[in-house]
C-alpha cells in the first residue's frame, strides 16, 4: 500500500495571509512523506477556493502552476466550509486512494498527518485527528465549543469529542460519504455513520498562523443548529415533553381554582391571567420555531440543489 496517492484537501476562504505559510509547510511534509515512501509520488495538496474575495485564488493558481504536487479547485461562489470540503473530497476521489482534510490556518498540527497515513496503511478507513488540549484557543472559543459538543451529545448526535474536520478518509469511505445527499452538511456527524474501521491520532491545537477566524459566533450557532436538526428529532420530542408539563401545571391550577371557589374566595386579579397568557404565548412561539427549523431543512433538502459549482480545476 505504500504507493497510495494521498490528496490533502484544504478549504480556503479569504486565506491569502496564511496560504504562503501553509503551502510551504504542507509541501515540505508531502515531499518528506514521498521521500520516505509513505505515500506515492502522485500525491498532492488540493486547495479549494471557496469563493474568496481576496487574492486567495491568484496565490493558489501560482502554486499549482509551479508544482506538480499542488492543485487548485476554484468554486464559483462561497458555499461554506463543509460544502467546500465536500467539493474537494468529491473531486479528489477521481484519482486519490486516500484523502486528508485540514483547515488552511494550520491550527491542526500537520505532524499528525504521517501518523494518520500509518494507521491507514494498517487498514483503517477513517482516522480522526483529535485535539488533546486547546489552550491556544481563546477562552470564549474554547467554552462555546465545549458547550457545543456537550449539547450535541445530549441531543443524540453521534460525534467524536474534540474532533473537527481534520481527518483521513480512504477512497471507499469518501465514496460512501458522497452517497449521503443532504444539503445541510455536518460532516463530523456524518462520518461516524459510515461505519468503517476507525482510529484516532492526538495532537495539540496550535495558534492560527495568520489571518482571523472565519467562524464568528453567528456562524457557529447556525452550524450547531444545522448539526442538531439534520441528525436528531429530539427537539420534536422536547415539544411533547414541554406540552405534557404545561398540561400538568394547568391541572394543578384547575385544582387550586376549584378549591378557592369552594372556600368562597373571590376571583384573583388579572395579573396571573396576563402572566400566563404571555408565558404560554412565549412557549408556543419557541415550539413553533423548532418546527419551523425542521420545515426549513425539509425545504432546502427537497430542492436537491447542487452543493457547489466548480469554476476551474487546475492540476
Ligand atoms: N472556510 C471556508 N469557507 C467558509 C468559511 C471558512 O472554506 O465560508 C475555511 C477556512 O478557510 C478554513 C476552514 O474553513 O480553512 C476553517 O475556518 P476557520 O479556521 O476560520 O474556523 P475556526 O478554526 O476558527 O473554527
Ligand atoms: Mg481555524
CATH number of 206's domain? 3.90.550.10
Q: What is the number of the ligand 1 atom nearest to the C-alpha of 214?
A: 20
Closest CA to 291 of 246, 239, 242: 239
> Does the pLDDT value for residue 233 go beyond 70?
no
Nearest ligand atom owner, CA of 207: 2
Q: Are residues 207 and 252 in the same domain?
A: no
pTM: 0.80
Say how far apart CA 180 and CA 305 lie, in whole Å: 13
Residue 52 falls within a domain, yes or no?
yes
Please give the distance, rounded to the nearest whole angstrom, from the Cα atom of residue 172 to the centre of ligand 1: 26
**Which residue, by CA, sits nearest to atom 14 of ligand 1?**
81
Q: What is the number of the ligand 1 atom nearest to the C-alpha of 79?
A: 8
Q: Cβ distance 206 to 107 under 8 Å? A: yes
Q: In sequence order, which residues have a C-beta less than 8 Å from that of residue 186 and are 6 or more positions away?
A: 82, 223, 226, 227, 230, 231
Q: Are residues 224 and 273 in the same domain?
A: no
Residue 47: the pLDDT is 97
Q: Are residues 265 and 144 in the same domain?
A: no
Residue 1 falls within a domain, yes or no?
no
Residue 277: the pLDDT is 76
What's the domain count of the chain? Answer: 2
Q: pLDDT band at 151, cuts 50/70/90?
A: confident
Q: pLDDT band at 270, cuts 50/70/90?
A: low
Residue 271: the pLDDT is 57
Residue 90: the pLDDT is 96
Q: Are residues 82 and 139 in the same domain?
A: yes
Highest mean pLDDT among 41-50, 145-154, 187-196: 41-50
Residue 280 belongs to what domain range?
234-303
Q: Are residues 176 and 269 in the same domain?
A: no
Q: Are residues 70 and 194 in the same domain?
A: yes
Average pLDDT score over the chain: 86
Q: Cβ distance 307 to 183 under 8 Å? A: yes
Q: Which of 86-100, 128-142, 191-205 has the lowest mean pLDDT?
A: 128-142
Residue 224: the pLDDT is 84
Q: Cβ distance 46 to 124 under 8 Å? A: no
User: Can you tell me whether residue 203 is helix, strand or coil?
Assistant: strand
Please tell me the total number of residues recorded for the chain in this structure. Answer: 315
Q: State if residue 105 touches ligand 1 by the CB under 6 angstroms criterion.
A: yes
* Average of per-residue pLDDT across 189-201: 90
Highest mean pLDDT among 30-34, 105-109, 270-274: 30-34
Residue 268: the pLDDT is 65
Residue 211: the pLDDT is 75
Amino acid at each position: 500500500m505504500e504507493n497510495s496517492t494521498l490528496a490533502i484537501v484544504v478549504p480556503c476562504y479569504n486565506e491569502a495571509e496564511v496560504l504562503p505559510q501553509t503551502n510551504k509547510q504542507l509541501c515540505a511534509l508531502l515531499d518528506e512523506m514521498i521521500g520516505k515512501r509513505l505515500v506515492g509520488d502522485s500525491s498532492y495538496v488540493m486547495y479549494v477556493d471557496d469563493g474568496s474575495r481576496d487574492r486567495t485564488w491568484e496565490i493558489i493558481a501560482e502554486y499549482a502552476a509551479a508544482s506538480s504536487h499542488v492543485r487548485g479547485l476554484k468554486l464559483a461562489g462561497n458555499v461554506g466550509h463543509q460544502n467546500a470540503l465536500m467539493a474537494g473530497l468529491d473531486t479528489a476521489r477521481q484519482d486519490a486512494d486516500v484523502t486528508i482534510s485540514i483547515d488552511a490556518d494550520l491550527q491542526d498540527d500537520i505532524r499528525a498527518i504521517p501518523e494518520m497515513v500509518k494507521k491507514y496503511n494498517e487498514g483503517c478507513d477513517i482516522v480522526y485527528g483529535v485535539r488533546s488540549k486547546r489552550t491556544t484557543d481563546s477562552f470564549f472559543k474554547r467554552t462555546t465549543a465545549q458547550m457545543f459538543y456537550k449539547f450535541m451529545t445530549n441531543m443524540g448526535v453521534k460525534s467524536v469529542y474534540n474532533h473537527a474536520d481534520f481527518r483521513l478518509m480512504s477512497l471507499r469511505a469518501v465514496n460512501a460519504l458522497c452517497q449521503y445527499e443532504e444539503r445541510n452538511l455536518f460532516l463530523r456527524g456524518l462520518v461516524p455513520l459510515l461505519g468503517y474501521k476507525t482510529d484516532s491520532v492526538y495532537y495539540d491545537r496550535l495558534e492560527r498562523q495568520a489571518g482571523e477566524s472565519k467562524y464568528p459566533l453567528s456562524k457557529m450557532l447556525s452550524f450547531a443548529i444545522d448539526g442538531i436538526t439534520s441528525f436528531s428529532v429530539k427537539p420534536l420530542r422536547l415539544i411533547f415533553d414541554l406540552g405534557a408539563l404545561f398540561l400538568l401545571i394547568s391541572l394543578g391550577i384547575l385544582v387550586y381554582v376549584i378549591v378557592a371557589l369552594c372556600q368562597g374566595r373571590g376571583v384573583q386579579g388579572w395579573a396571573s391571567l396576563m402572566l400566563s397568557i404571555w408565558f404560554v404565548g412565549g412557549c408556543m412561539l419557541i415550539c413553533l420555531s423548532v418546527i419551523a427549523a425542521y420545515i426549513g431543512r425539509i425545504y432546502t433538502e427537497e430542492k436537491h440543489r447542487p452543493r457547489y459549482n466548480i469554476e476551474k480545476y487546475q492540476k
